[in-house]
Amino acid sequence: MAINVQFFGAAGEVTGSCHLVTVGDQRLLLDCGLIQGGRKDEARNRDPFPFDPASIDAVVLSHAHIDHSGRLPLLVKSGFRGTIYTHRASRDLCRIMLKDAGYLSEKDAVWENRKRERKGLEHIDPLFTVEDTKLAMRQFKGLVYAKKQRILPGVKLRLADAGHILGSSIVELWLEDGGETRKLVFSGDLGRSGMPVLEDPAVIHQADHVIMESTYGDRLHRSWEDSYREIHEVLNDATGSKGNILIPAFAVGRTQEILYLFARYYDDWRLDRWHIFLDSPMAIEATRVFTQNTDLFDAEAAELWRQNKTSPLLPNLHISRTANQSMAINQIRRGAIIIAGSGMCTGGRIKHHLKHNIWREQCQLVITGFQARGTPGRALVDGAQHIRLWGEEIRVAAKIHTIGGLSAHADQTALKNWYANFEGRPPRDPCTWGRTGDHRPVQMPPPTALRSGAHSASG
């Protein structure tokens, strides 16, 4: 039989996950993510797909993160007419996240076109629009975990919990050709055991071929306990300082984890001394999706979440939906914990809160997630003395704290342990993306012929 896998992204880099599996005459795409990074990298999102989108029979999406889902609206716009299979929670999160990506793309195009006009250049179209994302959503089909089903002739699919974000899935595929069946496992992004809210990544025992992530294949994470102790210390120190605490947070995942941790340690961390503001319409919407899916939580989170219908149990949580509600927070000088996006301070309401707080030494900024190079969040972590907001140079006097251990990705040990669970005749050389170098087709050898390092695309 012939199974052919081609890697079109997240190979030699960690974004733009997109892999094409061909078995017999069926063509199946695993993920269709946006390339993220600097301007030059992101410009590649405008390149035509290296395959004909109309020739793809189906897509299986591992999870809602934009670097896995963000080019689906483009795929549909370019002629893909098949079904996009994913977990139902991923579908619901994609509705929010793709819409936001469409909105940002429209806004970027307006900004870019103003510049182009001044240079006498032609206008560009947005990469995709909010309307494009709505059209793409029509092709989604939401699935549940642990149910094996036929999705194409000769192709069966089952999703298992990857424990990375809500709805994230390890993709198990049974591929049949010429009377023979092979099992391909695609890890998607793998979470960490003990992560707040989510279950641990599912253990898979059998596969003929494995494609797995390796984002943190060269690193070990700090323990959860250490990270929680750091948050506790920041809260303690901040209490006497008569200022506010700002937490820039990603709307999906990190925000809900922080809310949950605040609820879980409400008494220990003396959170009754604070007013907590959730100031992000997107995070509020995402929190609603979490609330609808408490059956996917670990037991402790499910119990805590169920005690309150709309958010984890926090008596002093203020939900700030409108711009007026958000602006009202600017009047508060002390005692507020403000959770607002964007996670790297590149846009969103956090910029307004920075303007009102970052120059005051009584205030604290708590960074809880990865900060890419070139973002204001990264500059603050690196000790910038000033930041520019709407053309205004603002002094940085607030204390900056980085809580480094909250990553939603498995680290080196966890990746190795997850892979070690494959039993019987183990596929000894997983095709780890992030390590392979080019886009040449990879012909999967029969499992008995697998040799260590023998068939990665870069050789």
Q: Which of 57, 92, 172, 189 binds Zn ion (CB under 5 A)?
A: 189
Q: Which two tokens stand for residue 268?
A: 């220990």
In the complex, what is the shortest distance from the CB of residue 284 to Zn ion, in angstroms, rounded to a whole number?
21
Residue 213 binds Zn ion (CB under 5 A): no
Q: For Zn ion, which is the closer residue by CB, 65 or 192?
A: 65
Q: For Zn ion, which is the closer residue by CB, 363 or 410?
A: 410
Number of residues that bind Zn ion (CB under 5 A): 2
Residue 161 binds Zn ion (CB under 5 A): no
Q: Which distant-in-sequence residues (6+ apart) come within 8 Å of 179 by Cβ?
A: none
Q: For Zn ion, which is the closer residue by CB, 57 or 189?
A: 189
| Residue 286: closest CA among 306, 261, 256, 262 | 256
User: For residues 133 and 103, what is the distance between their CA atoms, to the nearest angstrom?
Assistant: 10
In the complex, what is the shortest distance from the CB of residue 189 to Zn ion, in angstroms, rounded to a whole number?
4
Q: Which stretch binds Zn ion (CB under 5 A): 59-67, 133-141, 312-320, 354-362?
A: 59-67
In the complex, what is the shortest distance from the CB of residue 62 to Zn ion, in angstroms, rounded to a whole number?
8
Q: Which of 7, 32, 61, 65 binds Zn ion (CB under 5 A)?
A: 65
Q: For Zn ion, which is the closer residue by CB, 12 or 447?
A: 12
Q: Which stretch binds Zn ion (CB under 5 A): 10-18, 64-72, 198-206, 223-231?
A: 64-72
Q: Which stretch binds Zn ion (CB under 5 A): 62-70, 82-90, 241-249, 250-258?
A: 62-70
Q: For Zn ion, which is the closer residue by CB, 189 or 208?
A: 189
User: For residues 379 and 374, what is the distance between their CA atoms, to the nearest angstrom?
Assistant: 7
Q: For Zn ion, which is the closer residue by CB, 214 or 326?
A: 214
Interface characters, 119-138, with Zn ion (x: CB under 5 A): --------------------
Residue 92 binds Zn ion (CB under 5 A): no
User: For residues 329 and 444, what is the distance between their CA atoms, to the nearest angstrom?
Assistant: 57
Lay out the sheet containing 275-278: strands in order across: 317-319, 275-278, 336-340, 245-248, 364-367, 399-402
Helices 254-264 + 281-291 axis angle, to 10 = 70
Residue whose tokens read 């990865």:
370
Residue 95 binds Zn ion (CB under 5 A): no
Q: For Zn ion, which is the closer residue by CB, 53 or 163?
A: 163
In the complex, what is the shortest distance from the CB of residue 67 to Zn ion, in angstroms, rounded to a whole number?
7
Q: For Zn ion, which is the closer residue by CB, 29 or 66?
A: 66
Residue 19 binds Zn ion (CB under 5 A): no
Sign of CA dihedral 274, 398, 366, 341: positive
Residue 230 binds Zn ion (CB under 5 A): no
Residue whose tokens read 């990603």:
250
- Upper half-sphere CA count for residue 345 (Cβ side, 13 Å): 28
In the complex, what is the shortest distance from the CB of residue 435 to Zn ion, in angstroms, rounded to a whole number?
18
φ, ψ of residue 449 to 5 degrees: the values are: -95, 0
Sign of CA dihedral 335, 337, 341, 345: positive
Residue 340: strand, helix, or coil: strand
Residue ranges in contact with Zn ion by CB under 5 A: 65, 189
